[in-house]
Amino acid sequence: MSGDRIIVGDNMDVLPGFPDACFRLICTDPPFNTGRAQRRTRLATVADPDGDRTGFGGRRYRTERLGEAAFDDVHEDYLGFLEPRLLEAHRLLAPDGTLYVHLDYREAHYVKVLLDRIFGRNCFVNELIWAYDYGAKPRRRWPAKHDTILMYSRTPDGHLFDADAVEREPYMAPGLVTAQKRARGKLPTDTWWHTIVSPTGRERTGYPTQKPEGIVRRMVQASTRPGDLCLDPFAGSGTLGAACRALGRSFVLIDRSADAVAVMERRLGETAERVYAGSVRAPSELAT
């Protein structure tokens, strides 16, 4: 494939045009079907001696509103919406390829049954739990502070998994292991403790459902090699593209939202070619 791409349009207008088995990794974060509109206002803090906020050292700042990103996250038939897209994902994965689907806890069990039917139960690899501690804290139930990521292989036990390439993490009880193990750290388990994207951090794009790059980077490290081609058919803020760019992989990002495309283009700069659905080049040009 020549260059990375951001494809503008509905993924079902694009995916059928790709050749079989052309992606090593498909990593996607489809709409969560929360039943409500998702909105996020983008803000910037600018130094201003007449500003309305005081920061470190008594410096004054003002807040500028840069705009709002939004989309409706409502699907009456959620599985009917996902099924043709997951069928395409199955077709598009290389024999040693891997699919990661990031889901809301309210939908994960339904989607797992669907994925078992499409990929086969013997291709289920992991249920990953991304745990965090931020956001609303209800008083009548335990606060929901995790998302589910389902991992499937294209071929039973045939997927690439490079544990040595994954960034290791500190032991939770370092006093129980040797100094050598403490220095090396441990391979992450299927429960990933990782903060959300900081509201004031450099990584933040302002996109409503942006996921942290550290989560996606771990998937790319484990399930691809340098130069491999990766796909996100619900690209959103382009986190897969950012992780691929940092790790030397190629990417195809698809989204029909003008807000999402604008965020991706700001984030990825000149590294990705913008293509519109209906003008995607011949499928043979997308082969690895």
How do residues 40-88 score in pLDDT, each as one tens digit? 444 444 566 776 655 545 666 555 554 444 445 456 889 999 999 999 9
> What does the pLDDT read at residue 214?
94
The pLDDT of residue 288? 41
Quote the pLDDT of residue 286: 53
d(CA 156, CA 95): 9
End-to-end CA distance of the chain: 6
Domains contained in the chain, CATH given: 4-35+74-286 (3.40.50.150), 41-68 (no CATH)
Position 44 scores a pLDDT of 47
In the prediction, which pLDDT does 60 show?
A: 61
Tell me the pTM: 0.82
Asked if residue 268 lies in contact with residue 242, where contact means CB atoms within 8 angstroms, the answer is yes
Higher pLDDT, 47 or 188: 188
Cα 243 to its chain centre, rounded Å, is 9
The share of the chain scoring above pLDDT 70, in percent, equals 81
The pLDDT value recorded for residue 245 is 95
Q: Determine the longest span between alpha carbons in the chain, in angstroms.
A: 63
- Supply the pLDDT for residue 164: 96
| Predicted local confidence at residue 52, as pLDDT | 64
Long-range (24+ apart) CB contacts under 8 A made by 195-201 are 195/132, 195/133, 195/134, 196/132, 196/134, 196/135
CB-based burial of residue 207 (10 Å sphere; 0-12 exposed, 13-18 middle, 19+ buried)?
A: buried
> How remote is the C-alpha of 236 from its chain's centroid?
8
The more confidently predicted of residues 14 and 281 is: 14
Per-residue pLDDT, 205? 79
Per-residue pLDDT tens digits for 226-242: 999 999 999 999 999 99
Closest residue by Cα to residue 264 from 233, 240, 281: 240
Give the whole-angstrom CA distance, residue 187 versus residue 164.
8
pLDDT at position 210, please? 83
**Token pair of 227 as six digits:** 């130069």
Q: Is the pLDDT of residue 39 over 90?
A: no
Residues 232/215, Cβ–Cβ less than 8 Å:
no
156: closest CA among 127, 126, 125, 128?
A: 125
Q: Which residues contact residue 220 at a Cβ distance below 8 angstroms, ignoring those fewer than 6 apart? A: 25, 27, 230, 240, 243, 244, 247, 249
Q: How confident is the prediction for the chain on average, in pLDDT?
A: 85
